[in-house]
Amino acid sequence: MRAELLETPRPIDVQPLRTADVAAPHPAPGELTVDVAACGVCRTDLQLVTGDLEAHRLPVIPGHQAVGRVRAIGDGVPGWRIGDRVGVAWLAGSCGGCRHCVAGQENLCEQAQFTGWDRDGGYAEQMAVRADFALRIPANFDDLAAAPLLCGGVIGYRALRVSGIRPGGRLGLYGFGASALLAIQVALHWGCEVFVATRSVAEQQRALEMGAVWAGSYHDTPPVPLDAAVTFAPVGHVVVEALKAVDRGGTVAINAIHLDRIPEFPYDLLWWERQLRSVANFTRADAQEFLDLAATIPVRTIVDPFPLEAANVALSRLHGGSISGAAVLTT
């Protein structure tokens, strides 16, 4: 089968992925194999292929926002049939027995595995997935529209929850890429006032068109104190700007798996019981809850499609900031 293979992380301008013919996967007990129709391209993929995120194994096939149909079913798998539509997301597995898993925090499991990092991902014609971590895709999303929901959508939803924002509250979104485009729709559904900070004037305008009450640059101060904020930009100084904007008792949730250093800032910004929280992965419950909510709202995705062999091009354009929504590879 065709796949985009990462053998050695390199700068994106030297095309770190190689189109390869690799053996098709077969389902182990407890697994499904999936014919991949679409796979989203995420900033985490970019960080992995360029080496900002240390590889867990090489070679590896990236991609953790895959949508397709069940091709084959391994032994001991109930509830799935050949041809069923399936989603594969970032969390590929957890141990199920540690204190975090037992407490409903499988996203913190020390033995967790991740799609496209520990297991081969969706930049391929086929992939294998643990059946108990496969997701049901609502029927009202086609394959292209569903793919961005499986990472940017789910992790953005968890970030909103971690921020503690309540319906009707004042929420800041710092960065307005693919994940924030989905998070704002959830926040507006909850009746929140949304304030968007982004360096792009075009993105500021798009935020206002989508329903934000204010949009400015990272260094602009929102007109009112915020109850909570979520940072999507993978740069530390944005975290400090968000912290400046939240009110007493407010929380800044950092939605990033890799971040450059947070610059020094005065303790007064953190005083009055403000909080900084990281957002680490998500649980299956988060994913299914978000997918069901997305179908109810309904959340709309903006997709830039690319053929599978153009994975390097899609990642390069993501790096350059020229993707207008979410890049999605198609097979």
Q: What is the pTM of this model?
A: 0.93
In the chain, list all ranges with CATH 3.90.180.10. Answer: 2-141+301-330
In the chain, list all ranges with CATH 3.40.50.720. Answer: 153-278
256-295 pLDDT, tens digit per residue, is: 887 888 999 999 999 999 999 999 999 999 999 999 999 9
Report the pLDDT value the prediction gives residue 108, as an integer from 0 to 100.
96
Low-confidence stretches of the chain (pLDDT beneath 50):
none
Report the pLDDT value the prediction gives residue 15, as an integer from 0 to 100.
95
Highest CATH level, class, for 153-278: alpha beta
Long-range pairs for 191-198 at CB < 8 Å and ≥24 separation? Answer: 191/167, 192/165, 192/167, 192/168, 193/168, 193/169, 195/170, 195/171, 195/222, 195/224, 195/226, 195/245, 196/172, 197/172, 197/173, 197/222, 197/238, 197/241, 197/242, 197/245, 198/174, 198/233
CATH topology of domain 2-141+301-330: Quinone Oxidoreductase; Chain A, domain 1 (3.90.180)
